[in-house]
Structure 1
Amino acid sequence: MSRSLLLLLFAAAAIAGATCKVGAAQVLVQQQTQNAAASSVVVLTDETFDAKTAKGVWLVDVYAPWCGHCKQLEPTWNKLAEELKAQKVNVAKVDGTKETTLLARFHVEAFPSIFLLKDGRTYVYEGQRSLVHLRAFALNPSKSGAKELAWYKAPNSELGRAMGGVYSLPRRANDAYQYLSKKRKWSDVQITLSLLAIPLVAGVILIIILDCFCVKGPYVAGGVPVPPPARPHAE
């Protein structure tokens, strides 16, 4: 093999190595950019929703990890979160397969479902999922033709919070059972007896409160009962 051929092979190998390094660096930069954009998206849960959305404007995506349309929307959603920072619009997402209470409060029927919480009102997005259309919806929902939910269907209304409390009861009961059985090492019999004792104790406390505060009859200042007036005899 001639010397010139060896030099040519060495140069080709060097160029290939440099190209691989540049490609790897570009991929790393893209991943870092995507991670930075994803970090701008707030993750809402059943426990944090009310506290976090109490103030400000919130654009919420209710998604499912297995949903193909949700996966297609994710890059656009991350970029939207970065762009709307200057307009003080919070971009968030809710995993509908985990946060079942929020799923019920939003009345979600399909994935992905996009909502805007603004000035005590809730708007549902039904347009194209492009960056331009989603930005227009977030900044001015009334002009984008978005549908506004009735007050009793809004997730942040008093009725919505009440529904959230009702839907969260099975999960809270399961959490209590897991805590008592695994951490406190209670048997199923002990847990059952405790659950039966709760309404009994609550009933006794309620009876005591009613007995203390409810008026049993007319009283004078000294606390002596006043007898009822005598009925006149018919002549």
Structure 2
Amino acid sequence: MVSLVKIAFFAIYVFSVTFVEMAATRVLELSDRFLDIHKEGQWLVMMYAPWCAHCKRLEPVWAHVAQHLHATSIRVGRVDCTRFTNVAHTFKVRGFPTILFLKGDQEFAYHGDRTREEIVKFALRLSGPPVQEITKTQSFETIKRDRDLYFLYVGERSGPLWDIYHKTADVFQPHAFFYQSHPNVVNKHAPVEKTPALFVYKENLHYNFTDQQNLDSEKLNETLYKWVNAERFPTFPKVTRGNINQLFLTNKNLVLAVVEENQLEEVSPDMLQFKDMVESVIKAKREKYHDHFQFGWIANPELVNSIAMMVLPLPSLIVINTTTSHHHIPEDEPEKLNPHVIELFLEQIRNESAPRYGGNSWLVRIGRSWFELKTTLAAMWLGNPILTMVLFGLPAGFLSLICYGICCPDILDADDDEEEQQGGTHMKKD
């Protein structure tokens, strides 16, 4: 019995190692010859350096990305920019890792979360035209199953709304999926009374774009752009370092439930209850708050603390004005917050009666830099006090020696001059 168990575990181990090796072989190792062929076909390329810790963490994810895209026309590769510096110079690589999608003369940089799912979606969005046509009902059913958020234009490929929709899709193609179809294809899933019509699908619901009537071309262009920019996020997304900059582009107030995850990305029951309570506000009052507030949750307290320039309790609530970079914090304790109290707090923000903090002034930036420095030093000291003493003690010691070398010779020279003068005086007296 024991031998069978050992054999089973050994077989699983061999299968896992073989799978990882197969996935790794899907990644093409590129050299400076890549510059001659990079405009041929579609490429998803990671520019890396062997010494970069972030690149090492991305390696297994990149292998899975290559495995997932192997059946597509997208070739996945990587370039060691320390060996092939011409490649780094040509693509103006300023940091590692840098992820690029190349399609002919077009070049797109990826700035999102470094997960397999997000990188794959980024590549798939860019692999096709800005607006993909749906011609079969079965295809539409597949899209509804596989895409958690997408835009759909129903109608003919002509007219002012179509032209502006296509132009807007070209701008936001790296960030969202855009489709076009006809009433007879989507009628079962999205009954259309009048064409052209435009929807956004998310959380198994669809929301109409209703502002196309009685607008001139310029105003329609501006309105549709703002609508797509605001609707391209889920109702209550997880906010990370990878997507927070995109969320700031909405120019809304960003309402964040601040919680903490463990190493398995699990949230404790009390924090999960707080997160769900904040989410219930936007889901119950979407029409009231959606135009002015983007809700979300964040499990990176360090990022929020840097914005607030203080250590926030967990869980907590913070509202960030993405236009001015000011932030608002409820005066009530987190445990006293409920949907009604949060709604009153949001109304105070809307009528500008809520206290605001921070901003973008040079004084605030200095204060934020000082807070981040203190936080980093404290984390280093708690993590490894001996290493911290070595890192900061040695420069301090060298600085002391330099100061000593600069100041002490003058003192010694002064003492020598005094001794010479005293010696000359004694000789005269003799």
Residues 46 and 78, structure 2, Cα contact 8 Å, conserved in 1? yes
Percent sequence identity over aligned pairs:
34
CA distance in 2, matches of 1:122, 1:130: 21
Structure 2 match to 1:143: 173
Structure 1 match to 2:79: 94
Residues 39 and 104, structure 2, Cα contact 8 Å, conserved in 1? no
The yes-or-no answer on 1:128 pairing with 2:113 is yes
Letter in 2 for 1:128: D
The yes-or-no answer on 1:50 pairing with 2:80 is no
CA distance in 2, matches of 1:20, 1:124: 47
Structure 2 match to 1:59: 44
Residues 49 and 80, structure 2, Cα contact 8 Å, conserved in 1? yes
Residues 101 and 108, structure 2, Cα contact 8 Å, conserved in 1? yes
Q: How does 1:210-229 map to 2 (within 5 A)?
A: none
CA distance in 1, matches of 2:51, 2:84: 15
Report the TM-score when normalising by structure 2. 0.29
Letter in 1 for 2:17: Q
Once the 2 structures are TM-superposed, how far is the Cα of residue 86 of structure 1 from its aligned partner?
A: 2.4
* Equivalent position SS for 1:98: coil
Once the 2 structures are TM-superposed, how far is the Cα of residue 64 of structure 1 from its aligned partner?
A: 1.6
CA distance in 2, matches of 1:25, 1:52: 41
**1:76–1:98 CA distance, 2 compared to 1 (3 A):** same
* Equivalent position SS for 1:114: strand
* Equivalent position SS for 1:33: helix
* Equivalent position SS for 1:127: coil
Structure 1 match to 2:68: 83
CA distance in 2, matches of 1:49, 1:70: 20
Structure 2 segments unaligned to the other structure (5+ residues): 127-171, 177-430
Structure 1 segments unaligned to the other structure (5+ residues): 1-13, 147-235
* Equivalent position SS for 1:140: helix
Structure 1 match to 2:92: 107
Over residues 84-134 of structure 1, what are the superposed CA-to-partner deviations in whole Å (9 max), with x where a residue is unaligned? Answer: 122210001011221111111121111110001013111111111111211
Residues 39 and 103, structure 2, Cα contact 8 Å, conserved in 1? no
**1:20–1:65 CA distance, 2 compared to 1 (3 A):** farther
CA distance in 2, matches of 1:51, 1:105: 12
CA distance in 1, matches of 2:38, 2:31: 11
Over residues 181-213 of structure 1, what are the superposed CA-to-partner deviations in whole Å (9 max), with x where a residue is unaligned? Answer: xxxxxxxxxxxxxxxxxxxxxxxxxxxxxxxxx
Letter in 1 for 2:14: L
Structure 2 match to 1:180: none
Q: Report which of the two has the higher share of strand.
A: 2
CA distance in 1, matches of 2:95, 2:10: 38
**1:19–1:131 CA distance, 2 compared to 1 (3 A):** same
The yes-or-no answer on 1:20 pairing with 2:50 is no
CA distance in 2, matches of 1:118, 1:26: 39
Once the 2 structures are TM-superposed, how far is the Cα of residue 66 of structure 1 from its aligned partner?
A: 2.3
CA distance in 1, matches of 2:22, 2:41: 22
**1:52–1:42 CA distance, 2 compared to 1 (3 A):** farther
CA distance in 2, matches of 1:22, 1:99: 44
**Root mean square deviation, CA, Å:** 1.9
Residues 38 and 104, structure 2, Cα contact 8 Å, conserved in 1? no
CA distance in 1, matches of 2:174, 2:118: 8
* Equivalent position SS for 1:139: helix
Once the 2 structures are TM-superposed, how far is the Cα of residue 23 of structure 1 from its aligned partner?
A: 2.2
Residues 39 and 105, structure 2, Cα contact 8 Å, conserved in 1? no
Letter in 2 for 1:56: G
Over residues 63-98 of structure 1, what are the superposed CA-to-partner deviations in whole Å (9 max), with x where a residue is unaligned? Answer: 122222212211221111122122210001011221
Letter in 1 for 2:29: V
Structure 2 match to 1:36: 22
> How many corresponding residue pairs?
131
* Equivalent position SS for 2:44: strand
Residues 39 and 102, structure 2, Cα contact 8 Å, conserved in 1? no
CA distance in 1, matches of 2:104, 2:89: 22
Report the TM-score when normalising by structure 1. 0.51
Structure 2 match to 1:198: none
Letter in 1 for 2:87: L
* Equivalent position SS for 2:109: strand
CA distance in 2, matches of 1:57, 1:120: 10
Q: How does 1:170-185 map to 2 (within 5 A)?
A: none
Once the 2 structures are TM-superposed, how far is the Cα of residue 36 of structure 1 from its aligned partner?
A: 0.9
